[in-house]
Amino acid sequence: MPAHDSETFNALRPRLRGLAYKMLGSVADAEDVVQDAFIRWLQADRSEIREPEAYLRQVVTRLCLDVMKAARTRRETYVGSWLPEPLVESEPFEDVTLPLLLILERLSPLERAAFLLHDVFGVGFAEIAVTLHRDAAACRQMARRARTRIHAERPCIAPSGTRGQEIAAAFFTASRSGDIEALRSLLAKDVRIEADGGGRVGAPTRPVVGIDAALRLLAGLARLFSVQMSQLLRYAPVNGLPGFVTLEQGHDLQTTALEIRGERIAAIYVCRNPDKLGHLADDHALVALSRH
């Protein structure tokens, strides 16, 4: 394998991984797709590839569509709420936040691909048509339908990093101490809590909707925290939303992301499924923090 072939792929790897993750909502599946794309890249006839990035985008998108078909049955039998695998980073994940990923989940695979390729990655409809084996007009229509639905559901725009993390810190303190009045001042009347335990760890199997139901749940959790307090590992954006990473019961990683509307928390997304947190367990900084 010529060295420049490997260098070409590695230079494109972050964008390919980003495309795969936004298509699938899974870090592990995205990594597998990118690795499969690398193998196909090594086997490809270079004389037939004029634009490596366009070629690899097509390969990754098609592989993702295959994965989405195979995952459809598993998703239908998933226990409780399904959330994307959380990405925790030092800078906001601005282009596709967690609420937008949840809206994308409700689109058809082809609509999702057309929207992401065009609106997020800036790919022209001529290339998208080749990738999806549809004509350009059909791809334009699919992207338009996706855009219309996304606009109709209007995911909240996260506040500035500093203010968002101030609200996240206030929520962490109030929820762990059981300060119901502080929580009441933080939550929107129609707040929604979704927790993903995947049937592996304890979590509500249905969304909790409304401030009264949310306060009852949080009060119950506070009683558990009084026995064994959460260990805060990091305040950080989680899929572009203000949030934090904690260690629960001394060993269970958990991410909490807050969708904020104005100054109130409109939605709380908690990922507890250990199958979705393995990539965070490998984070050396988190491992070091968890030992102190």
Give the mean model confidence (pLDDT) for residues 237-264.
92
How far apart, in whole angstroms, are the C-alpha atoms of residue 67 and residue 64? 5
Could you tell me the domains of the chain?
Answer: 1-77 (1.10.1740.10), 98-154 (1.10.10.10), 161-290 (3.10.450.50)
pTM of the model: 0.88
Res 292 pLDDT > 60: no
The residues near 73 (Cβ < 8 Å, ≥ 6 apart) are none
Q: Quick one: pLDDT at residue 284?
A: 46
Give the mean model confidence (pLDDT) for residues 139-162.
84
pLDDT in tens, 34-85: 999 999 999 988 888 889 999 999 999 999 999 998 887 777 788 888 999 9
Q: Quick one: pLDDT at residue 257?
A: 96
List beta partners, residue 267: 192, 259
Question: Confidence band (pLDDT; 50, 70, 90) for 92?
Answer: very low
Least confident of 125-129, 147-151, 192-196: 147-151
Res 94 pLDDT > 70: no
Question: Confidence band (pLDDT; 50, 70, 90) for 148?
Answer: very high
Q: Quick one: pLDDT at residue 76?
A: 75
Instruction: Output the CA torsion sign for 28, 31, 35, 41.
Output: positive
Give the mean model confidence (pLDDT) for residues 138-161.
84
Q: Quick one: pLDDT at residue 288?
A: 52
Q: Quick one: pLDDT at residue 244?
A: 96
CB crowding 83-119: b at 16 or more within 10 Å, else e: bbbbbbeeebbeebbbbbbbbbeebebbbbbbbbbbe
How far apart, in whole angstroms, are the C-alpha atoms of residue 237 and residue 171? 14
Q: Quick one: pLDDT at residue 290?
A: 52
Provide the 8-state DSSP code for 119. I
Which whole-number Å values give the CA distances from 127 to 16, 124, 197, 206, in the listed order?
A: 16, 6, 39, 40
Provide the terminal-to-terminal Cα distance of the chain, rounded to the nearest Å.
Answer: 45
Q: Which residue type sits at 91?
A: E
Q: Quick one: pLDDT at residue 250?
A: 76
